[in-house]
Amino acid sequence: MAGLKLKNIMGKIAGFFTAASRSGLLWPVIFFGLILLVNALINPGFFDIEIKDGRLSGSLIDIMNRSSYIILLAIGMTFVVATAGIDISVGAVVAISAAVSAYLIGGTLVVENGVQQYVSFMPMPVAIIAALLIATALGMWNGLLISRMGLQPIIATLILMVAGRGIAQLITSGQIITIYYKPFFFIGGGYLFGIPFSIYIVAAVLAVVMFLKKRTALGLFIQSVGINKTATRFAGINSSNIILWVYAFSGFCAGIVGLLVCSNNKSADGNNAGYNMELDAILAVVLGGTSLAGGKFYIMGSVIGGLIIQSLTTTIFSIKEIKPEANLVVKAVIVFVVCLIQSESFRKKVAGVIFLREKKSL
Amino acid sequence: MNIKNIPILSCITGGKGGNSSGSMFNFKYLLLAATIALFIIMFGIGSVSFRGFFSLKVFFDLFIDNPFLFIAAIGMTFVIITGGIDLSVGSVAALTTMITGTLVEIHGISPAVVLPFVLLVGSLIGFLIGIMVHFFKIQPFIATLGGMFLARGIALMINTDSITLNNSFFKAVSNYHIPVIGNAFITINVVIILIVVIAAIILAHYTNFGRTVYAIGGNEQSAILMGLPVGRTKILVYTISGFCSALAGVTMMFYMPSGNPLHGVGMEMDVIAAVVIGGTMLTGGSGYMLGTVFGVLILGTIATLINFQGGSVNPWWIRIINAALILVFCLLQILFEKKGRKIAKS
């Protein structure tokens, strides 16, 4: 009996430790904390947030604002990766969404009765909805190729990645469309209650996603598709449709980012909008602890992954001794370090699985 | 039609890919035949539509203008056959040009020393990626993504501006023309491509290493159980790809004598596209080096066709056509694979 009790206590301690590392948030949070700490040591005013012209300003707000693109893409990407897929077309979808919204809004400065007025080509809501719909449809195209035609995710999305920028260029006729319609600038560059509006968008998407994950079985379904698609189908879950909608959602997220990019830059550039964003998004997901092999996924991990990437960039730009070109090298080093640490923890995870079995048998 | 019956083709393509019955091979050859046929058709369309298209010069230009694609694609084919992927090719090529530019132009070191050195650097990057993929089980996509960031970052840190190579060696090589027939000529790069392709075909189809590469792509667990040197082969495959990327960088400098940290941006996607159009499956286990050569030739022909059209066609159609081709070839692959399986079953 006593032995069993001791085993129980030991088990609880071990369980706590494995739970902390298995929650997937341990390493990302430690890394994010480390980067913030380095920043605080270099720049004592790093954590200061002050109000300027009714807007909150400070390094932290800046990081959160700038990381909104990566975080939104990473949220969509997390589900895709959880189904053992990958979506390398998001950057191109961002470019298309930006091109569509810029094309539909356009905008000219008109003087009516001596008053300057901004007139859009189409009403703004129409343009926004059209851009999001097209982005979602492109995601569905990916999903259809993968779930119905049986193409590999990386190839199916490669097709859209290669074609996407061409399509964006065709929409903008190979030129950079500039927007002169002021209300549209609010989406990507506006402030609401002193906080950048893009942070609200991220929060809203995150809230919906977390609700779906925690309160419905959808998260479990997605996870099970990632672990074994065939077994999931035999269990009576429509794997194909889950895959389809996961890619559609990833496209939708890319659509939102396209609107943000377009609104923030006040223009749409088919060549450079969203360039290489897919890589950052995938990186954020991996840094967040989700394995590219699919299965268990960590949405908050991806969010923190996005914050890590952005804060890293901000840090490098703020340290004068480091050339901005070093950004990529530092990023590469972080990728390797984080991946290696996660690889080392592989054994711990195995131990955790064995322990769980023991617990069940008790 | 069974290409296996044609002695020359069968000796080029070998027959060591895959692992099941003969009927499977026919379908795989069919895919290769489809790639070659597509190239012939596209070249034919160009010849019929445009005066001056059907010439040795246009054909040789396909090689002369894309040497880096050919060489990087050969390295990539090895990686993809093992079921991996290499995103670092463009960046490693750019890094090669930057290191060469700096060492030759600024430090005045002879190209005879620098060129072997940069090839070694490329191979080393590939080797390290291979170690991470094999020993630390980091997914190839992420490991090579890290390699891509690293190589591009180092290239940018060396110098953000492009370096013109004024060294007489590079000038001489880039201007050197080997006359063939009539006024058609080839460059040193074309010779390099030929050597690499032949070496790759021998390596892939006539050596134990090549057979292991296919076996890993077919089923890694089985390959391990069969006692094949899986780890060594996997690391070697990424090393080869790193070497080929560096060599691609060298051909860039022979084509256009300059070092630029932004050379080859997005090249990895063109290379992957060429490999896929060439009939290599991204799941690994099957594919032909010769297919990859024709894959690059097809991409080159599309670009040439659009160029011949002059200003009437938006050059952005190149990307869309490339994407459509990838789609068609992937669907064909799936179709052939299913049919092959059915026949193998019956």
- Mutation target for B interface from A96, A170, A313, A335: give the one with most B CBs within 10 A: A335
Token pair belonging to B299: 């991409």
Q: Is B276 close to A155, i.e. CB distance below 8 A?
A: yes
**Hey, which residues 206-235 in chain B have their CB within 8 Å of chain A?**
none
Nearest-Å Rg of the Cα atoms of chain A is: 23
| CB-CB contact of B79 with B140 (8 Å) | yes
Q: pLDDT digits over A142-195, tens only? A: 999 888 887 888 888 888 888 888 888 888 777 777 777 777 777 777 777 777
Nearest to B201 by CA among B34, B336, B15, B25: B15
Nearest to A294 by CA among A360, A351, A229, A250: A229
What pLDDT, on the 0 to 100 scale, is given for residue A10?
Answer: 64
Q: Which residues of A touch B80 (CB under 8 A)?
A: none
The CATH architecture that domain B28-345 belongs to is Orthogonal Bundle (1.10)
Check pLDDT > 70 for residue A293: yes
d(CA A117, CA A108): 8
d(CA A228, CA A65): 37
Domain boundaries along the sequence of chain A: 25-322, 326-362
| CB-CB contact of B78 with B237 (8 Å) | yes
Check pLDDT > 60 for residue A224: yes
Q: Does B92 touch chain A (CB under 8 A)?
A: no
d(CA A300, CA A75): 9
| CB-CB contact of B293 with B278 (8 Å) | yes
Q: Which of B149, B150, B273 sits opposite A162 (nearest CB)?
A: B273
Does residue A113 come out as left (phi exceeding 0), alpha (psi in the -120 to 50 range) or beta?
left
Token pair belonging to B99: 């290191």
What pLDDT, on the 0 to 100 scale, is given for residue B11?
Answer: 38
Check pLDDT > 80 for residue A83: yes
> DSSP letters along B264-302, please?
TTTHHHHHHHHHHHTT--TTSS---HHHHHHHHHHHHHH
Quickly count: other Cβ atoms within 10 Å of residue B314's Cβ: 15
**CB contact set of A166 (below 8 Å; sequence gap of 6+):** B316, B317, B318, B319, B320, B323
| CB-CB contact of B133 with B143 (8 Å) | yes
What's the average model confidence in pLDDT over A42-67? 75
Percent of the residues in chain A that have a pLDDT greater than 70, as a whole number: 81
What pLDDT, on the 0 to 100 scale, is given for residue B304?
Answer: 85
Q: Is B323 close to A159, i.e. CB distance below 8 A?
A: yes
Q: Which residues of B touch A331 (CB under 8 A)?
A: 149, 153
Q: Is A329 close to B132, i.e. CB distance below 8 A?
A: no
Q: Is B153 close to A340, i.e. CB distance below 8 A?
A: no
Write b or e for each residue in A346-355: b if 16 or more Cβ atoms lie within 10 A of its Cβ, otherwise e. eeeeeebeee
| CB-CB contact of A107 with A184 (8 Å) | yes
Q: Which of A149, A327, A335 sits opposite B142 (nearest CB)?
A: A335
What distance in Å separates residue A90's CA from the closest CA in chain B? 15
Q: Does B283 touch chain A (CB under 8 A)?
A: yes
Q: Which of A152, A159, A328 sits opposite B153 (nearest CB)?
A: A328
Phi and psi (nearest 5°) for B184?
-75, 145
Q: pLDDT digits over A299-326, tens only? A: 888 898 899 888 888 887 777 777 777 7
Phi and psi (nearest 5°) for B178?
-100, 110
d(CA A163, CA A181): 29
Nearest-Å Rg of the Cα atoms of chain B is: 20
Nearest to B213 by CA among B197, B196, B235, B195: B235
Q: Does B150 touch chain A (CB under 8 A)?
A: yes
Cα torsion B214, A243, A219, A232 to 10°: value is -70
Q: Is A323 close to B149, i.e. CB distance below 8 A?
A: no
Nearest to A184 by CA among A99, A133, A110, A127: A127
Percent of the residues in chain A that have a pLDDT greater than 90, as a whole number: 11
Quickly count: other Cβ atoms within 10 Å of residue A112's Cβ: 8
Q: What is residue B262's DSSP assignment?
A: T
Average pLDDT, chain A: 79
d(CA A242, CA A235): 14
Q: Does A346 touch chain B (CB under 8 A)?
A: yes
Q: pLDDT digits over A175-184, tens only? A: 777 777 777 7
What's the average model confidence in pLDDT over A258-262? 88
d(CA A179, CA B71): 43
Q: Which of A150, A156, A331 sits opposite B149 (nearest CB)?
A: A331
What pLDDT, on the 0 to 100 scale, is given for residue B105?
Answer: 85
Quickly count: other Cβ atoms within 10 Å of residue A28's Cβ: 24
Check pLDDT > 60 for residue A1: no
Quickly count: other Cβ atoms within 10 Å of residue A214's Cβ: 10
What's the average model confidence in pLDDT over A347-359? 54
Query: pLDDT grade, residue A114 (50/70/90)?
Result: low
Token pair belonging to A322: 């480091």
- Higher-scoring residue by pLDDT: B218, A45: B218
Q: Does A326 touch chain B (CB under 8 A)?
A: yes
- ipTM confidence: 0.73
Q: pLDDT digits over A16-36, tens only? A: 556 655 566 777 787 788 888
Q: Does B324 touch chain A (CB under 8 A)?
A: yes
Quickly count: other Cβ atoms within 10 Å of residue B175's Cβ: 9
**Contacts within 8 Å (CB) and 24+ apart, B191-198:** B192/B67, B192/B71, B192/B247, B192/B250, B192/B251, B192/B254, B193/B63, B193/B67, B193/B70, B193/B71, B193/B251, B196/B70, B196/B71, B196/B74, B196/B244, B196/B247, B197/B70, B197/B74, B197/B289, B197/B290, B197/B293
Q: Which residues of A touch B142 (CB under 8 A)?
A: 282-283, 286, 292, 335, 339
Q: Which residues of B touch A283 (CB under 8 A)?
A: 142, 145
Check pLDDT > 60 for residue A43: yes
What pLDDT, on the 0 to 100 scale, is given for residue B28?
Answer: 65
Could you state, in chain order, the average pLDDT of each consecutive group of 10 residues for chain B (346 residues)? Answer: 39 41 58 86 86 81 90 94 91 92 87 91 94 84 87 88 84 81 81 93 91 89 88 93 94 87 83 88 83 92 81 74 83 76 69
